């Protein structure tokens, strides 16, 4: 179900919340000649958890500032219920540079006072694990200041949280904790974020900010995609390109983990109609064939490589092989060497020992976290055409610089905007597009989702779906990793690179096991081995990415002491369930293929009544078996989570 707020005569079509914390009535806001909101009327009720999506520059941050009272509308009224306490984290913090982290987060409370509060202790432990509480705010990096501001807001007593991109500068583990914390906090929440995993896990309503108004959808990101696709279908929209992207994202959602497919309350039959003939997001075999044609058999061979920086060993005796068409995601704790690994691959950082062999045909493009500087007077279209005027998209497709700019959100006159007038998110989009226009056959992407809106992420995923080459992505964006890559590897801080067949879930499970081990009475040396895989890439021979041969799921002995026995048993049960889930999926696939063959035989022998009766009886048995297996699959999927 969707609702639209705004417009001169627009009213909320639905039942208002019993007690609104904030009301916006006929609010209009403009910056110069750009109309941000036009007669917008909207409200936030007690306990509501709302995710806000929309294009960069569309007004998402402005909406939060209006809600918080940090910005006044040009016309209309913003009213807060009496005594409302708001916790607000904007894109710029208001921390005192002369204060310490301790003063900023817990004020003048003594250590024994705040440390005795489990809620405060949990926030500090998960958001500020590597930041000294006595450190001054002034010298901290932007990411560290961001963490401090977020911790202060979560600790403070409030009725409503307004968070603008809270996952920026957080690693996968911290985002996982934040997701759980926000879902259980009980406070009302409005969050602007490009992190689709958080949107889907936390939010019960999604607001889309577009064209000066707000469209509201019941449910999280998955439901938003379903409802928006259905709305586009019913309206017979002329925007065929955007609708195809929505259908493609929808198809991936429906094929994805059961947690996402079970959440939407939306009518699933309509969704199934939309994706009935929709192919998988990408054909891995065709892409691998094209990649081999462009790259040959060898891309990167890392042999016994060690990298030391500042007296710390980040990569220790690493042996790793990347082949043509491999699509690899890399996760890890902060400071574990993820960016260093990319620099090792692109040749900008030589190893202290060992060597890296780069294929002769490799044309590498590296998207770093730093936004490269362009002449601010250069027009956007000129900046792209400087690289190339046309680009091949794989499978015979091609596009001009202008067409690619349109796909990345630079439409019409926006292509003639001086680079100096672009926002940070728009510059990131431009940087990424310039990289793709160079037609590399190897892409190294370091936090590519930073500053990108959800719609641009969908476009990027669509481009990568047809891009034949080797892809290595370092990202904290769990959704993007699962959507764009085929295998996940992890740097756990001990210099080894580990293949994780269980993906990000396995990484988080290992990290939790590692944090639990010291509490179970295990010494530091033993705790450091928690999660050591049988397939770790270190002194042993390299394993092709995505091969599935590497990566055990064993945990160290520390997890098996005392209460750890139950945890280990539970993890063992989960692993067994995952194994059976995989087996059931294979059986269902076989039965599906068998049913298709039987249908073909029925059509072939349509005039032979005896044969038709025999085939029909067999088909009924096959369908019964498949239905039973599908029911078992649903039970296992729920058990695995």
Arithmetic mean of pLDDT, 13-18: 43
Looking at residue 158, what is its pLDDT? 93
Residue 92 covered by a domain: no
Domain identity same for 340 and 408: no
Q: Say if 110 falls within a structural domain.
A: yes
pLDDT in tens, 85-133: 999 999 888 899 999 999 999 998 888 888 889 999 999 999 998 899 9
Q: Report which of residues 427 and 631 the model is more confident about.
A: 427
For the ranges 25-29, 511-515, 585-589, 636-640, the lowest mean pLDDT is seen at 636-640
Share of the chain above pLDDT 70, in %: 75
3-state secondary structure of 98: coil
Same domain, 168 and 113: no
Confidence band of 572 (pLDDT split at 50, 70, 90): low
pLDDT at 608: 74
The string of pLDDT tens digits covering residues 538-570 is: 433 334 333 333 333 333 333 333 444 444 444
* pLDDT above 80 (res 352): yes
Amino acid 290: pLDDT: 47
Query: Are 40 and 80 within one domain?
Result: yes
Parallel, antiparallel, or unpaired: how do β-strands 487-491 and 327-332 relate? parallel
Highest mean pLDDT among 269-278, 547-556, 615-624: 615-624
CA–CA distance, 35 with 13 (Å, rounded to integer): 24
pLDDT of 245: 66
Mean pLDDT across the chain, nearest whole number? 78
Residue 121 lies in a domain: yes
Chain length of the chain: 641
Q: Name the domain boundary from 435, 452, 484.
A: 435
Q: 56-60, 261-265, 442-446, 471-475: lowest mean pLDDT where? A: 261-265
Looking at the fold, whether 448 and 528 belong to one and the same domain comes out as yes
Tell me: do 457 and 418 sit in the same domain.
no
CA 170 to chain centroid, in Å, comes to: 12
Do both 72 and 200 map to the same domain? yes
Whether residue 594 is found in the same domain as residue 624: yes
One domain for residues 245 and 388: no
Domain assignment present for residue 558? The answer is yes
Whole-structure pTM value: 0.62
For residues 289-302, average pLDDT: 67
pLDDT surpasses 90 at 433:
no
More confident residue, 197 or 34: 197
Res 138 pLDDT > 70? yes
Q: Domain check: are 274 and 410 in the same one? A: no
Range of the domain at 617: 573-640
Does the residue 214 lie in any domain?
yes
pLDDT at 527: 35
* Overall number of domains in the chain: 6
For the chain, how are helix, strand and coil distributed in percent, rounded to 5?
A: 45, 20, 35
User: How large is the average pLDDT for residues 314-338?
Assistant: 90
What pLDDT, in 10s, does the model give residues 143-177? 889 899 999 999 999 999 999 999 988 889 899 99
Instruction: Quote the strand ranges of 246-396, DSSP E.
Output: 300-309, 312-322, 327-332, 353-358, 364-367, 390-394
The answer on 421 and 341 residing in a single domain is no
What percent of the chain has a predicted confidence (pLDDT) above 90? 33
* Mean pLDDT within 54-74: 90
Q: Kindly state whether residues 352 and 455 are assigned to the same domain.
A: yes
User: Would you say residue 245 lies in a domain?
Assistant: yes
């Amino acid at each position: 179900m969707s609702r639209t707020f705004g417009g001169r005569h627009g009213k909320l079509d639905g039942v208002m919340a019993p007690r609104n914390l904030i009301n916006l009535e006929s609010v209009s806001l403009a910056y110069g000649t750009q109309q941000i909101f036009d007669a917008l009327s909207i409200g936030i009720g007690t306990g509501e958890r709302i995710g806000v999506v929309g294009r960069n520059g569309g007004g998402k941050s402005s909406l939060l500032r209006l809600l918080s009272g940090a910005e006044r509308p040009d016309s209309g009224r913003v009213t807060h219920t009496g005594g409302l306490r708001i916790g607000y984290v904007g894109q710029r913090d208001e921390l005192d540079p002369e204060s310490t982290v301790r003063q900023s987060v817990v004020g003048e409370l003594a250590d024994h006072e705040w440390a005795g509060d489990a809620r405060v202790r949990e926030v500090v432990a998960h958001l500020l694990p590597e930041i000294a509480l006595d450190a001054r705010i002034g010298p901290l990096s932007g990411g560290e200041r961001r963490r401090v501001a977020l911790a202060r807001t979560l600790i403070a007593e409030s009725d409503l949280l307004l968070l603008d991109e809270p996952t920026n500068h957080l690693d996968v583990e911290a985002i996982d904790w934040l997701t759980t914390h926000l879902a259980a906090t009980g406070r009302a929440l409005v969050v602007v974020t490009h992190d689709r995993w958080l949107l889907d896990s936390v939010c019960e309503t999604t607001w889309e900010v577009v064209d000066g108004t707000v469209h509201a959808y019941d449910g999280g990101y998955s439901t938003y995609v379903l409802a928006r696709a259905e709305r586009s279908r019913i309206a017979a929209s002329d925007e065929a390109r955007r609708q195809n992207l929505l259908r493609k994202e929808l198809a991936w959602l429906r094929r994805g983990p059961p947690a996402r497919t079970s959440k939407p309350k939306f009518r699933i039959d309509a969704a199934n109609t939309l994706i009935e003939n929709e192919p998988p997001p990408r054909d891995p075999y065709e892409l691998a064939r094209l990649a081999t044609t462009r790259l040959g058999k060898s891309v990167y061979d890392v042999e016994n490589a060690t990298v030391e920086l500042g007296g710390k060993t980040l990569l220790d005796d690493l042996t790793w092989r990347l082949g043509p068409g491999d699509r690899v995601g890399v996760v890890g704790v902060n400071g574990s060497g993820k960016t260093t690994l990319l620099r090792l691959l692109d040749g900008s950082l030589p190893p202290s020992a060992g060597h890296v062999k780069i294929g002769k045909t490799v044309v590498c493009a590296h998207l770093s976290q730093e936004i490269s500087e362009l002449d601010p007077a250069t027009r956007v279209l000129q900046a792209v055409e400087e690289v190339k005027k046309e680009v091949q998209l794989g499978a015979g497709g091609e596009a001009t610089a202008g067409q690619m700019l349109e796909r990345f959100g630079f439409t019409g006159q926006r292509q003639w905007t001086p680079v100096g007038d672009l926002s940070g998110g728009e510059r990131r989009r431009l940087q990424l597009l310039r990289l793709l226009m160079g037609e590399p056959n190897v892409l190294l992407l370091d936090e590519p989702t930073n500053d990108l809106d959800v719609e641009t992420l969908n476009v990027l995923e669509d481009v990568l779906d047809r891009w034949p080459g080797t892809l290595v992505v370092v990202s904290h964006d769990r959704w993007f990793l699962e959507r764009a890559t085929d295998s996940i590897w992890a740097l756990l801080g001990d210099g080894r690179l580990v293949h994780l067949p269980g993906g990000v879930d396995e990484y988080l499970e290992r990290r939790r096991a590692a944090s639990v081990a010291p509490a179970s009475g295990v010494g530091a040396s033993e705790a450091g081995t928690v999660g050591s895989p049988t397939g770790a890439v270190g002194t042993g021979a390299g394993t092709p990415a995505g091969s599935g041969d590497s990566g055990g799921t064993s945990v160290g002995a520390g997890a098996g002491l005392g209460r750890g026995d139950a945890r280990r048993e539970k993890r063992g049960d989960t692993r067994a369930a995952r194994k059976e889930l995989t087996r059931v999926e294979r059986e269902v696939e076989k039965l599906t293929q068998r049913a298709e063959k039987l249908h073909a035989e029925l059509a072939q022998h349509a005039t032979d009544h005896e044969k038709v009766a025999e085939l029909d009886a067999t088909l009924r048995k096959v369908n019964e078996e498949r239905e039973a297996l599908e029911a078992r699959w649903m039970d296992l999927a729920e058990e695995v989570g």
